[in-house]
Chain A
Amino acid sequence: MVSCEKATLICNKAQYGEASFVDILRMKLHHLICKTCAKHSSCNTQLTSLCQKAKLRHLSQAEKEKMKETLSQHR
């Protein structure tokens, strides 16, 4: 049986598709006896789906650097 810490770690990894199948099974097993983790896990999954739905876009670090440079030239 995995501990709560381990279960959260697996849960976080699972959000990025980096958890192994066996680990996910272990986590699910843990959720059967630990409602706190089960709730946290469902919230976590919800956060992932929200982030995907929002289609967030970020400027890359290089683009930001370029922006800073052009800005400082204008000052």
Chain B
Amino acid sequence: MAIPKLQPERWVDNYADYLFNYAIGRVSDAEMAKDLVQETFFAGLKSAKNYKGDAAERTWLVAILKRKVIDHYRKRNSKKGKAEVRMGYSAQSEAEGDWLEEQVADPFSTFENNDLENEELGLAIQQCITKLPKKQATVFAMKTIQGISTEDICNELNINPSNLWVIIHRARTALMECLNKNWF
């Protein structure tokens, strides 16, 4: 079987958003996540010759990103990283407050599962979006995720509003089907 070839020139278009969502779930800082994705692409380019083709391109990139995330935390916890002063109300968040009681976990809450589940949901949706035809994916992402107004999208992509709604409709129908299969 022929070894599938990497296509670095299409990485950003195809995987940047997926990897970005993956990273943001782990470092919870948009700027940092962006940098990690960029580093992942660099590392991917550098070791492209080691790609043996036993995993899909995306899986391979996610594997690299995982290492990058680990490196990120390692760096933060290295001697030099620890020397930087990071002080806050609680170690995990930027929130401000005084009371220790506020930080005690609620024993009956199942709330903390939500974040985990939402992250998986996000990746599932993202995966479904990548399966859409390019035009539908762009329009859907602009409208739903970036929240750009109908008018602006029409101007930018040079389509008329009724055209846009048809594209949105097709995208949504395809997404529903895809999520029905992969999520529920």
State the A residues within 8 Å of B (CB): 8-9, 12-13, 15-16, 18, 43-44, 47-48, 50-51, 53-60, 63-64, 67-68, 70-72, 74-75
**Do B145 and A58 touch (CB < 8 A)?**
yes
Could you give, for residues 122-151 of chain B, a 1 whenever the CB lies within 8 Å of some chain A CB and a 0 otherwise?
Answer: 100110000000000000010111100010
20 A–B contacts from the bound complex (CB under 8 Å): A9-B169, A18-B150, A44-B172, A47-B172, A50-B121, A50-B183, A53-B118, A54-B122, A56-B21, A56-B122, A57-B145, A58-B20, A58-B145, A59-B37, A67-B38, A71-B8, A71-B38, A71-B42, A72-B9, A75-B8
| Contact size range, B | 35 or more
Q: Which residue of B lies closest to A67 (CB)?
A: B12
Contact between B143 and A16, CB atoms less than 8 A apart: yes
Kindly provide the distance from the CB of A27 to the nearest chain B CB, expressed in whole angstroms: 14
Set A51, A70, A72: member contacting B125, Cβ < 8 A: A51
Question: Is B179 within 8 A of A70, CB to CB?
Answer: no
Consensus secondary structure, chain A interface: helix
**What is the 8 Å Cβ interface bit string for chain B, positions 1-14, against chain A (1 contact, 0 not)?**
00000001101110
Cβ–Cβ < 8 Å partners of A47 in chain B: 172, 175-176, 179
Q: Which of A44, A56, A70 has the most CB of B within 10 A?
A: A56
Q: Assuming A18-B150, A50-B179, A67-B12, is B118 touching A58 (CB within 8 A)?
A: no
